[in-house]
Amino acid sequence: MKIAFPDQIIFHALLHSLSFMALTAMVYGVLIRHASGRALISILTGLLFGVGAILVMTDPVELMSGLIVDGRTIMVGLATPFGGVPAGLIAGVLAGAYRAWLGGAGAMAGVFGIGIALLSSILFHRLASQREGGYSLKQLVLLGSMVAASGVNALILPQPIMFTFLNEALVPLTIANISGIVILGTFLSRERLSANSEKWLRSVAFTDSLTGLSNRRAFLTALRGSFQDALKYNRPFSLLLIDCDNFKKVNDTYGHECGDKTLIHLARIFEAEIGQHGVVGRFGGEEFTMLLQHDNKANAILKADHIRKTVEDAALHTDEDIIHVTVSIGVTTWSPIFADAEDMLRSADRHLYKAKERGRNCVEPTITHHFISNNPFSSRSVDTPPSLE
């Protein structure tokens, strides 16, 4: 029996797969821009490439009954380099299971080829280094050559088919595999590079370069969002405006490098104090801001005073000096009397100014002031702190 595999059929199979490859690249771009967490991205990438491999097998070029040619090894081969080993394993299992389910004369060889493509991509992933998130043309050609080794699956085909396949189809199929890896790999690399650039631009736009905290723009966005939520859901939150006392003296005494280290030192303390329950930002210079979600005024003042004490007790050790700093904090809590987020910010600023006037290293208003202002029957002295039991 004479079986022919014209080159045009092999490359027609690649062209059949190109639309699915383009769709895969587009969805991958959306995925890496919006999914969070390496593990989740790896799982979703595996599912994407696994489904992509299945889709190309739904529209293959059939060489003979049960023997099909498509871009499944291209999909499986790219899953690991662009999603990690878990992604490759997920894609390989999905593709292999579907090919086995299709059955036919080439089913066993097809599953075997998927396995070789998977192992080749894992080896490549271990050896190759990404260039700013993507792969170079040389690296993609190497990956394509390694994945093309899946062509040895022809060795387990029935002999008449095997000899014809090796003589007439192996070379064009190898070229098609390498071409497909290069084409789709280039698209995927560009998507990843573009996503990384967008993340970097967002980081520059919304992150303070010295401390890594939210910058003024990002914090104001968060403040306005919290303000709107409070209006809509009557959900209280508090705003802290924090200023490092006598910071100019730190710069003049120890130098600007130590001044920068002091700001970073404060930023780490504020991050540790707020945890996942709010937002902390550097508002400018030595001034920081903090949002405390779902906190009433009494709790916010207590939290602010705890932060003040933590800063006072936490010395900064440099190579040559031990630097002690203190902070003054103005506290305000949302209420319907505020016209907008900026009005709240002005209120916090007024409280901060009062804290500075009181001699620095203090919180304004104090818990005593708050207690008395909300308890008209209290006869406590302003200087006597109330029981908070």
Residue numbers annotated as active site:
286
d(CA 347, CA 324): 28
- Name the DSSP class of 386: P
Residue 331 near residue 300, CB atoms below 8 Å: yes
- Name the DSSP class of 151: G
Name residues whose C-beta falls within 8 Å of residue 24's C-beta, 6 or more positions apart in sequence. Answer: 48, 49, 52, 75, 184
**3-class DSSP state for residue 387?**
coil
Which segments of 246-340 does DSSP mark as H helices, in order? Answer: 247-254, 256-274, 297-313
d(CA 376, CA 371): 9
Angle of CA points 309, 313, 316, to nearest 5°:
130
Strand locations in the chain (E): 61-64, 67-69, 237-244, 278-284, 287-293, 316-317, 322-323, 327-333, 363-364
Phi/psi-derived region of residue 360, left when phi > 0, alpha when psi is between -120 and 50, beta in every other case = left
**3-class DSSP state for residue 181?**
helix
Token look-up 């370069």 returns 209
| Strand 278-284, strand 327-333: pairing | unpaired
Residue 148 near residue 177, CB atoms below 8 Å: yes
Structure tokens at 30: 């959306």
Q: At what angle do helices 137-147 and 72-83 cross, to 10 degrees?
A: 130
Residue 364 near residue 331, CB atoms below 8 Å: yes
Which segments of 276-340 does DSSP mark as H helices, in order? Answer: 297-313
Residue 57 near residue 70, CB atoms below 8 Å: yes
Number of DSSP helices (H) and strands (E) in the chain, helices first: 14, 9
